[in-house]
Chains A and B, each alone.
Chain A
Amino acid sequence: MSKVIEIPDFRHTPTVDKVGVEERASRFTKRSIKKEAKMQGLKMALNMIDLTTLEGSDTPGKVKQMCYKAMHLHNSIPGLPSTAAVCVYPSLVKVAKKTLKGSDVKVAAVATAFPAGQAPSDVKIRDTKFAVEEGADEIDMVISRGKFHSGDYNFVFDEIAAVKEACGKARLKVILETGELGTYDKVRRASDIAMYAGADFIKTSTGKISPAATMPVTLVMLEAIRDFYYKNDIMIGMKPAGGIRTAKQALHYLVMVKETLGNAWLDNHWFRFGASSLANDVLMQIAKQTYGNYHSSDYISND
C-alpha cells in the first residue's frame, strides 16, 4: 500500500523569520523541569542518544568499548535505559553489530562520503549498500550542499531518493549540515526536499562543522516535520546532532519537541540526539537526582 504524495515546488517553500524563530526557541529554555519530570526527561534523553564516534582513528577496539557503554550506561544505578543507537563509519558497522547482538541498540552508519558528500553518486550508493550489507539498521547520509546552493534541488532530491532505495529496510537519516546552509529559509527548504525524497529522519549536522545543532535550527526542522505530517499523514523523525553536551540542553530540546510536535515524537523511534559527550552529563544529573549530590566525572565511564 503506497500512497501518492504530491511533490511541492521547492522554490516556494515556507519562509522563516529569524528574529521570531530565535525568540520562540529561547522561550523553551525558560521552562523549569524539576523533580519527577526531570528524572523522567533525563532517562528519556539517554534512551534517545545515538552514541557517536566518527574519527579517522576509530578502531574495532574503540567501537567495541563504546558499544558496551551504549548497552550499560552506568550499571551502578539500576533501571537506566540503553542508548538508542551507536553511530559509526561503515567500516566499523560489522564489529558494532556483533558487539551489540541481543540488545535493542541499533547501529547507525554515516554513509555517502560523509562528511563533505563530495563524491560521485555511484560512490555514495556503493558506500550506503556496503553499510547496509554489513548490518547497519540506520544510514545517516549527507546532502550535496554544493548542488543545493546552486539551486539544483532536483539533483539533491534524486540523490536522497536513490540512497533511500539503496537503504532497503534500513531507516534513512538525512543530514542537512545546517551550519553550511546559511539561513533558516534554506534549512526549511532542505528539510522539505529531504522529507519528500524519502527521509525517515532529518538531521541537522555532521558534527564536523560549526555551528552544529542549535535550538532555532531544530525548531525550523520540527515545524517542517509538523507541516509534512499534517499534509501527508506521515511522521518523520528528527535528530539534532553536534553541540548538545549538557543534560539541561537535552531537556530544553525535549520541551521543544513536546510543545511543537506533541507526545508521539517523544520516543527514540522519532527523536534522537547525535552526541558523544551528552550521555555522561545526563548520567551525572541522574546520579545527582538519585544520591542527592554531584559525582566527580571520574565516577562515570569515559568510553
Chain B
Amino acid sequence: MTKNKSKLDFAGDWSYAPAPESTKVKIDKRYKLFIDGKWVEPTSKKYFDTISPSTEEKLAEVAWGNEKDVDKAVKAARKAYEGVWGKMSGKERGKYIYRIARMIQERARELAVIESMDGGKPIRESRDVDIPLVANHFFYYAGWADKLDYAFPNLRPKSLGVAGQIVPWNFPLLMVAWKLAPALACGNTIVLKPAEATSLTALKLVEILQEAGLPDGVVNVVTGFGDTGAAIVNHPDVNKIAFTGSTGVGKIIQKAIAGTDKKCTLELGGKAANIVFEDAPIDQAVEGIVNGIYFNQGHVCCAGSRLFVQESVADIVIRKLKDRMESLIVGDPLDKNTDIGAINSKDQYQIVKNYIKIGKEEGAKFHENSCALPKKGYFVRPTLFTDVSQSHRIAQEEIFGPVLSVQTFRTVSEVIAKANNTEYGLSAGIWTDKGSKIFNMTTKMRAGVVWANTYNKFDPTSPFGGYKESGFGREGGLHGLDAYLDLG
C-alpha cells in the first residue's frame, strides 16, 4: 500500500443542527407492582429511582418487590393459569396476542421515546429496531398459538404453568417481548421482572395489556433488584425460569434450581468473533464491524467485540474503520441524528471505563473517535484497541460497551481456533465473498448465531441462543416454543 498524507476531514462547516424527538410522553411519578390485574403497593413500601443515563435526572420511582410480593404474583399467575389462560383455546389466546401486537404498533413512538429516555439508546435504534421488533415478536408468536400441534406433530404439546422471566437492561422491552410472546402463545402465565435500571417500558406495556383486556393474573410484573429476581427463581410454584443477563447470575440461577423440576433457558454473555477475510467486501465489512460493536453502545450480548482481520487487509480495514468511526455522532439519545447514546447506567459506565484502562495497561494500542461528549450523562466514545492478542483481558472478558479489540490472523484454521478459544459462544460474524468459505466456517464456529456478510440482524422467526457459558435454550422461531412447552 502506498503511504501518503491523504486524510479525510469529517468535521468542518456543515454540521447537522439538533433534531430532538419530542419527549411529550406520559410517565407517572411512581409505579407500583402489577399483580393479578391491579397496581398494588409493594409489601416493603420501598421504591427506587429510575434515572435517565443521558441527563442523570430521575424519571420516576419504581416499586421494589420482595419475596412476599413475588409469592402473591406467583399465586395470581397460578390462579389465572388454572382458571383461564391454561384452558383457553390457542385460537383465543392468539387473538389477545395479535391485539397486543397491534397496540404496540399504535403506541410505537411513545414506547421508543421512553426506551431512549430510560435506557440511553439512540432514538433511531429504539424507533427503527427495538419497538418494531417487539411488535413483530408478538405478531409472530400470535400466529403459533393455535398451531402448536403442527409445530410438534404427535407430541401433544402442553403448557408448563407459571413462567418466571427475568430480563436485562440492554433491550428492555424487546427482551420482554422475546419472553412474553412465546410464553403466552403456549398458554403459560407469567411473573416478569424487568431490570432495575430500565423498568419503564415494561410498565408501559402493562397499560397495553390492560387495554387489550388480557385476563387478570396472566401477566404479573414485579419490579426490583437481584433479590426480587432470586425470589422468583426460588419460588417452589414456578415451573419455568427464563433469564437473560450476565453469566455470573446465570450460574447462580442454575445452582438455585438444581434438583427441582423447573425448566430453564439462559441467555448469557458473549465475546463474539467478527471475522473479516481478505476477499470480503471491505466497505460493507467495515459497516458490519461498526454495527457489530457500536450498536446500542455495545450493550449487546452478541456484540462483535473481537474483530479478527486477515493480516493482508488489516491496514486498510483499520483505516476505513477509523474513518467510519469519525462519522459516528455521540450524544443525546433523543436526537434523531445520534448514532451512539448514553451508557445505560453509572455502574456500567465505570465498568467500561475500567476496561479501557485495563486495555491501555495491557499495552494494546488505543484509538477513539475524536468527538466532544455532552457534559452531563454517561457517555463513552467509540473505542478500538489494536495490537491485541488472545491473552489480553480485553479480548477475553465481556466489556458490554463500545470497545472493540482487533486481532489479525493468517489462515482459516488459525482464525477458527482463535474464534472458538473463548468461554462464550453466542454469536459470530463472517465476511467473505466466497460462499463455500461461509459454509465451512458456519460448521466450525461454536456459536449459536453465525451471521454471514451482515451482523446484529434479528428476526422473530430465527432462533437465538448460545453455546458454552453463553447459556442454553433457544428463543425465537419454532425453537423458541420448545422452551415453553411440555413435549412429553
Contact = CB atoms under 8 A, between A and B. Distances in A.
A15 B281 contact: yes
14 contacts: A17-B433, A20-B453, A21-B283, A30-B336, A31-B16, A32-B337, A33-B16, A34-B16, A34-B18, A41-B14, A258-B12, A262-B8, A263-B11, A263-B13
Contacts of B280: 15
Contacts, number: 101
Contact of A231 (B1, B11, B323): B1
A17 B284 contact: yes
Interface in B412-464: 433, 453-454
A16 B10 contact: no
Contact of B17 (A19, A35, A226, A229): A35
B347 interface: no
Contacts of B336: 30-32
Nearest 4 CB-CB pairs, A to B?
Answer: A20-B284, A263-B12, A32-B19, A262-B8
B391 interface: no
Name the prevailing secondary structure of the B interface residues: loop
Given A17-B281, A19-B454, A24-B287, A34 B9 contact: no
A229 B16 contact: no
A223 B5 CA distance: 18
Contact of A37 (B6, B17, B454): B17
Contacts of B128: 30
B381 interface: no
A32 B16 contact: yes
B16 A232 contact: no
Nearest to B2: A231
Contacts of A233: 4-6
B124 interface: yes
Interface of B: 1-2, 4-6, 8-19, 124, 128, 279-285, 287-288, 319, 323, 327, 336-337, 433, 453-454
A211 interface: no
A233 B14 CA distance: 24
Interface in A224-242: 226, 229-233
Given A230-B319, A232-B2, A233-B6, A262 B12 contact: yes
A264 B8 contact: yes
A21 B453 CA distance: 11
B283 A16 contact: yes
Identify which of B18, B280, B281, B323 gathers the most chain A CB atoms within 10 Å of its CB. B281
B8 A20 contact: no
Given A20-B285, A31-B336, A266-B13, 15 more contacts: A17-B281, A19-B284, A21-B284, A32-B19, A32-B336, A37-B15, A226-B323, A229-B6, A230-B6, A254-B14, A258-B10, A258-B12, A258-B327, A262-B9, A263-B10
